[in-house]
Amino acid sequence: MSVSQSTSEFPPAYLITFRTYGSWLHGDTKGSVDRVHNRPDTDLVPPDERKFGAMQSRMSGNAVTLDESQRLCVEQAIAGVCEYRAWELLTIHVRTNHVHVVVAAPVDPEKVMNDFKVWATRKLRKAKLFDADAKIWSRHGSTRYLWDERAKEDAGHYTVNGQGVDLSP
């Protein structure tokens, strides 16, 4: 444990990642993560047609893909919650099927992720970009603790540059 880890209850920042509903199911040929397969540079959960089919059959709605206006709405909602809560928004990248945020917040990362999803959902529905009963987000997501400047820089670089083709208008 580094000195910074031992002197504060919370890390300097988090990398928060969450996916849209139904966009990446366990058993998919793309692979997925679970409690055992969840570290960088380790194997993903291997494809499994039966597991994938079972996951699909349990879905109560369609898989969600965010269009340009929806992505902008999500970005604005996350910026808004950061401003309201006095959290420092370091980097954000909203993709068609997931969201990455690097944020400094003196609270548990699960609270941060939950607030991001709640505020984004509310804003999307208020803008009539989703129906009131539509499931938009998958359950939970990833909360990586960033304990030093190098980790924050790496997460920021990954968030901005490691996501493929630029989707900016």
User: Which domains does the chain possess?
Assistant: 3-21+66-161 (3.30.70.1290), 24-62 (no CATH)
pLDDT greater than 80 at residue 91: yes
Give dist(CA 89, CA 60) in Å, integer. Answer: 33
DSSP state letter for 92: E
pLDDT at site 7: 53
Give dist(CA 70, CA 66) in Å, integer. Answer: 6
pLDDT tens digits, one per residue of 49-80: 888 777 777 878 888 999 999 999 999 999 99
pLDDT at site 39: 67
pLDDT tens digits, one per residue of 111-147: 999 999 999 999 999 999 999 999 999 998 999 999 9
For the chain, helix (H) and strand (E) counts, in that order, are: 5, 4
CA-to-CA dists, residue 52 to 4, 47, 62, 93, 132, angstroms: 41, 8, 15, 27, 27
